Structure 1
Amino acid sequence: MFWVRFRSSVLLVVLTLFTVIMGGDLLFAVIGLISLIGLSELYKLLKVNNSVVGYIGYVACVAYYALVYFNAKEHMMLLFVAFIMVLMVAYVFTFPKYHSEQVFITFFGLFYVAIMLSHIYQVRMLDDGLWLVWLLFIGAWGSDTCAYLVGISIGKHKMTPKLSPKKSIEGGIGGILGAALIGFIYGLAIQHKIGTFNNPQVAFAIICGASSIVSQIGDLAASAIKRNYDIKDYGRLIPGHGGILDRFDSIIFTAPIVYYLAEFLSR
């Protein structure tokens, strides 16, 4: 299992590096595909992935990405209203085929998966996006590594004993401070290449520290959903790692935080 997980990790890192560095239409297409796969994993839990309600969700996801691609954000609210209305029509005229929970989470899935993940592409498209996009991974995977190392070293107080017994408060704090430190060092190293921040090392430390907080919440939220449905992984797409939502559970939360904080803290 270790080598299966290791090989998958190496391949995932290589693909991530290539896709993110290339950016543009390639990154857009990959993130859009990942969102559809992640949405299908969530819909499988509700048994709506191959149903009318699920198809409506997939169409809404494609429509949302079309609006992102053409920068037509003024039409977003219209999409959301149309989405919920069409879902209600399907719910009413097929009653009692679907439970209200299935319909509500179908709507929620667009936000939780597609909209949140789309911010990876949106960060990459910002000025200095080639450098800013790596803050997502520092805030998620870098934070996770720091939290693990601190947790196994000095972790004593459980963060959420019933949900994730192995996570400690000390580890959580270590993840936040570790991510902030990595962000600071990263900003210091590339400060001469960044033109949108007066003090990139401080801005990056703030962004990565904040990202670590929401990253840990995202990880716990994904665990809570899986426990509610009594499953170990969302899928089997990535050998040794599970599905898209298993691997990107924390990135889902860090992407929008990095995007909006970068916009706020830039000159």
Structure 2
Amino acid sequence: MFKTRLLSGIVLIIIALATIISGGDILFATTLLISLIGLSELYKIAHLERKLLGMTGYVFTIVYYFMLRYQYKQYFMYFIMIFLVLVMIEYVILFPKFKADEIMIIFFGLFYVSIMLSYIYQTRLLEDGAYIVWLIFICSWGCDTCAYCVGMLIGKHKMAPKLSPKKSIEGGIGGIVGAALIGAIYAGVISQYLQSGENIIIVWFALICALGAIISQIGDLAASAIKRNHDIKDYGTLIPGHGGILDRFDSVIFTAPVIYLLATVIL
């Protein structure tokens, strides 16, 4: 299992490197594909992935991404209202085929998966986005790795025993400190390519990664809570040793919009 997980992780890193460095339409298409797969995994837990409501979610995910691609973000509120009204029309016309909680999953899924993951692409579009976007993965996967190592070594106090029995408070703190340290080292390496002074960038990157790591762990636990509510171990089997897209990107979902926000406010 460890070998399979390691090999899958290496492949994921290679794909991330290739798509994020390329940016543009390659990253756009990859992020859209990941969002659609992740959305289908979420809908699958309610058996909606192949039904009309699920199809509506997929279509509006595609529409949303092309709004980003062609810079129509100013119409976002109209987009959301149309999506909500259309879903409610389907709910009413097909009643009682669908339940109210299924409608909530359809609406929630668009935000939780598609819109939040889109901030990977949106962060890449920022000034210096080619460098800033990597903070998303430092906060997510870097924090996860550091938390795992520290938890294995000295973890004694359970963080959330009902959600994730193996996670410890010590591991959580180690993940935050580790992400901040990686962020500072990363800033030291790439600071010469950025606009701000080197010392300022190192401090800001460390702070952003620390905050992002906290949010990352909340995202991880939130995904676990959804799985516990529906009695499933993994969202899917697409990534050997890791599960589905949502199993691997559960923390990225939360971290991506936070890094985008912090980058636009602080940097």
| TM-score bin, normalised by smaller chain | over 0.9
The DSSP-based 3-state class of the residue aligned with 1:46 is coil
1:228 aligns with 2:249: no
Structure 1, unpaired ranges of 5+: none
Structure 2, unpaired ranges of 5+: none
CA contact (8 A) 1:5 1:240 kept: yes
What residue identity is the alignment partner of 1:236? T
What residue identity is the alignment partner of 2:73? K
Quick one: structure 1 residues 127 and 197, their matched pair in 2 at CA, closer, same or farther if it must change by over 3 Å?
farther
Q: Give the whole-Å Cα distance in 2 for the aligned partners of 1:228 and 1:21.
A: 37
What whole-Å deviation, never above 9, does each CA across 1:25-48 have from its counterpart, x for those lacking one?
Answer: 000000001101100010111111
What residue identity is the alignment partner of 2:259? V
Pairing of 1:18-37 with structure 2 (within 5 A): 18-37=18-37
Q: Give the whole-Å Cα distance in 2 for the aligned partners of 1:112 and 1:97.
A: 24
CA contact (8 A) 1:127 1:196 kept: no
Shift of 1:143: 0.6
Q: Give the whole-Å Cα distance in 1 for the aligned partners of 2:179 and 2:170.
A: 14
The DSSP-based 3-state class of the residue aligned with 2:45 is helix
- The aligned counterpart of 1:260 is 261
- The aligned counterpart of 2:113 is 113
Shift of 1:146: 1.2
- The aligned counterpart of 1:43 is 43
- The aligned counterpart of 1:213 is 214
CA contact (8 A) 1:197 1:203 kept: no
- The aligned counterpart of 2:244 is 243
1:4 aligns with 2:1: no
Segment of structure 1 superposing worse, 151-160 or 244-253:
151-160
Segment of structure 1 superposing worse, 62-71 or 148-157:
148-157
- The aligned counterpart of 1:91 is 91
Q: Give the whole-Å Cα distance in 1 for the aligned partners of 2:236 and 2:149.
A: 27
RMSD, aligned α-carbons: 1.2
Number of residues of Structure 1 aligned to a counterpart in Structure 2: 266
Q: Give the whole-Å Cα distance in 2 for the aligned partners of 1:161 and 1:109.
A: 26
- The aligned counterpart of 1:17 is 17
Query: Normalising by structure 1, what TM-score?
Result: 0.97
Q: Give the whole-Å Cα distance in 2 for the aligned partners of 1:161 and 1:239.
A: 26
After TM superposition, the runs of 4+ consecutive aligned structure 1 residues lying more than 3 A away are none
- The aligned counterpart of 1:161 is 161
The DSSP-based 3-state class of the residue aligned with 1:238 is coil
- The aligned counterpart of 1:58 is 58
Q: Give the whole-Å Cα distance in 2 for the aligned partners of 1:8 and 1:51.
A: 31
The DSSP-based 3-state class of the residue aligned with 1:221 is helix
CA contact (8 A) 1:42 1:109 kept: yes
What whole-Å deviation, never above 9, does each CA across 1:135-169 have from its counterpart, x for those lacking one?
Answer: 11110111111111221222221111111111111
- The aligned counterpart of 2:171 is 171
